[in-house]
Structure 1
Amino acid sequence: MTRITKLSIVIPAYNEGRTIATVLDKVSAVELVQSIEKELIIVNDCSVDDTEAQVLAYQQKHQGSLSIKYLKHEVNRGKGAALRTGFQHATGEVCIVQDADLEYDPNEFNLLLKPILDGFADIVYGSRFMGGKPHRILFFWHTIGNKFLTFVSNMCTNLNLTDMETCYKMFDTRILQSLDLKENRFGFEPEVTAKVSRIPRIRIYEIGISYYGRTYEEGKKINWKDGFRALYCIAKYGMLKQ
């Protein structure tokens, strides 16, 4: 059994004023196993809406009862850059990425924690494509694209993941902070996967999670250009293993 006292939850946010308070409510309400403490690290990537006002109001309301770190970029740098900023400030033994939208369910943190707490895993990916959890039906070509990118990534890393592009990735924080990450946008996913795959004796697990995807009208930001960038990153970082 692995002893964990704190989970760092890194939340990158860009123009998520409509949903950020709800996400923070959901994260705050989660009761982690073994009374593990939560550390919320919110990184505002130069939003031009009321994201900052929403976060500061939430921070003020919960001052003293919840650990909330608020960080901001003065220029928009991308999700990967926001995550790097958040990772640098993580003090929990374990760290997870939580998007500031409503696509993933924080109540499933405990599912990802279990293989780590049981002493089996160093890293756990939450897969949208395995298990019997709810999965919103949306875009056919997005699903094909995600599975194709995962397939190519697996070819380069010799892993057998089902969902490399998932947001829910839980890491031993020491491992995460030891990585020299470079990608500023959505290339973070293939880059971090390639780099952890090269760590000797690393133990990576995967578990099925829910997925409440959103449409572009509801605020989805990733597009076909990010898919091509992801393919480039798979080649760039994955081939380094060979």
Structure 2
Amino acid sequence: MSTLSIVIPAYNEENAIRSVLDRLRAIGPALREAGLMGWEMLVVDDGSRDRTAEIAAAYPEVRLIRHPVNRGYGAALKTGFAHARGEWLAFLDADATYPPESLPELYRIACTRGADLVVGSRMGGTDSEMPLVRRIGNWGFAFLLRVLGGTTVSDSASGMRLLRREALERLYPLPDGLNFTPAMSARAIYENLRVVEVPIPYRERLGQSKLHPLRDGVRFLHAIVWTVMTYNPVRVFGMAGFGLGLLGLALGGSAILWPGPGGWPFPRLFAAVVLAALGLHLFAIGTLFNHIVSLFYKRPIRQGLFGRPLFRRPLEQRFLPMGALSIAIGLALYGWAALAGLTSPSFPAPWFVPAVSALAVVMGVDLLTAGILVRALTELSQRELRIRRDLEAGQAAAPVVEPIPQPASVSRSA
């Protein structure tokens, strides 16, 4: 039998909070039937300027915590979690949009499926009054999490959740604003927490919404991308580099297949080479960041760009030979161009081959440097493992056979 703390962050919600608290008070029998030994309600008044705190204080079951000034949605939740006494934590908004009646079901599913975090999903096909703009935004965030995190959370910004208290240490730090929930979704994925979504109905809020779709949408996007950057940066850098590489390939192909009037379109070809070089550079940077992140968290290197290796041997292990090859190609290309007269003023684009040659040399130096750093970071990340292996190998060696001590000779007295 467990206990549950329900945290309600509230900011100027005098029109709705009474309804939320009445409905929470009414689900006590359902919570006990679900297997909870006890539960509590905590309202965190986040600097309200209306009667929100006064209304909440009138309920004897409510523990009211007040912020002197408005600190933000996420800050209010963190304050509530810090004062909560339950083994399980739940939260929902004070605007009457989320159904308190779904909390017993969230708890039952958390227990039966061994979940660390249960998300009440407004995108689960149940009755929902979510505005179309927010629904489109949630689809976009779900797609982004799928691409960057490899796991789908259909409602990454849901404000109704239930989680194990011990999961907080792995989910923190989290932001103080409305981007608290998308950041939590992304961190839960990368911390390998078991996340389960449960469809819930959703009603349009009572009173004016505090969510600004454009401004807060940008914050949600930043929270997801930045969280991924702190766990698997090659996903962000690598996909950006992959996109640039594809763009360069398409541009180069168009220049070859449809050169247009006037002969070879050298500017288009050079732009294609530059885009390919930038793509490879971004991938190398992301790979280095992944090794640094692995060293910081003391975890194995993540699989990288597509969640699994594309080659039998990781691409970063090929940086050194690739760099040397790129430098050799760049130097050879320039030598050939000089001998063939491609750098003379009479050539239509005397700048083209020297520029491509220089770019190949720079890219080669870039790859060589990245390869050296990757090797060094790999050594550092495996240092403790190798120390332990060497110590165990020494202990497992054949025991030293020492000579049996001979008894001292006894002198005979004359």
Superposed displacement of residue 155, structure 1: 2.2
Identity of paired residues, percent? 33
Give the drift of 1:181.
2.3
Gaps of 5+ in 2: 233-414
Q: Given the alignment, which residue of 176, 188, 201 partners 2:168?
A: 176
Could you say what the CA RMSD is over the residues aligned between the two structures, in angstroms? Answer: 1.7
When structure 1 is superposed on structure 2, of 116-125 and 80-89 the one drifting more is 116-125
Asked if the contact 2:171–2:191 (Cα under 8 Å) also holds between the matched residues in 1, the reply is: no
Task: Spell out structure 1 runs of 4+ moving beyond 4 A.
Answer: none
> Comparing both structures, which one devotes a greater share of its residues to helix?
2
What SS is found at the alignment partner of 1:71? strand
1:174-227, Cα deviation, whole Å (9 max, x unpaired)? 112453224111110121112222224x21111111101237xx2211112111
| Contact kept in structure 2, 1:19 and 1:101, CA below 8 Å | yes
What secondary structure does 2:35 align onto? helix
Equivalences for residues 214-225 of structure 1 within 5 A: 214=205, 218-223=207-212, 224-225=214-215
- Structure 1 residue aligned with 2:243: none
| C-alpha contact 2:174 2:184 (8 A) present in aligned 1 | no
CA contact (8 A) 1:10 1:97 kept: yes
In structure 2, what is the Cα distance between the partners aligned to 1:104 and 1:38? 19
Q: Which letter maps to 2:226?
A: K
For 1:118-145, what per-residue CA distance to the aligned partner results, in whole angstroms no more than 9, with x for missing partners? 15211111111114x3212x52222111
How many angstroms apart in 2 are the aligned matches of 1:25 and 1:197? 34
**Higher gyration radius (CA):** 2
In the alignment, the residues of structure 2 paired with residue 129 and residue 205 of structure 1 have an alpha-carbon distance, to the nearest angstrom, of 13
How big is the shift at 1:80?
Answer: 0.6
Please state if 1:104 is matched with 2:104: no
Query: Does the 8 Å CA contact 1:87/1:177 hold for their aligned counterparts?
Result: no
**Corresponding position of 1:204:** 195
Distance 1:71 1:214 in 2: 23
Instruction: Give secondary structure in 2 for the equivalent of 1:241.
Output: coil
In the alignment, is residue 128 of structure 1 matched against residue 122 of structure 2?
yes
Residues 141, 179 of structure 1: CA spacing in aligned structure 2 closer, same or farther, 3 A cutoff? Answer: closer
**Could you tell me how far 1:237 is from its partner in structure 2?**
0.9
Matching of residue 27 in structure 1 with residue 20 in structure 2: no
Aligned to 2:56: 55
Query: Does residue 1:15 correspond to 2:7, yes or no?
Result: no
2 CA distance for matches of 1:110 and 1:36? 12
Kept after mapping to 1: 8 A contact 2:10/2:94: yes
CA deviations 1:59-97 (Å, max 9, x no partner) are xxx3xxx3x221111111110110111111122111111
Kept in 1, the 8 Å contact 2:138–2:155? The answer is yes
Residue 165 of structure 1 corresponds to: 157
TM-score, normalised via structure 1 length: 0.88
Higher relative contact order, chain-length normalized (CA < 8 Å, sep 6+): 1
The structure with the largest strand share of the pair is 1
- Paired residue for 2:224? 234
1:140 aligns with 2:132: yes
Alignment size in residue pairs: 227
Distance 1:148 1:35 in 2: 36
Cα pair 2:153 2:185 within 8 Å, conserved: no
Stretches of structure 1 lacking an aligned partner (at least 5 in a row)? none
Corresponding residue for residue 64 of structure 2: 70
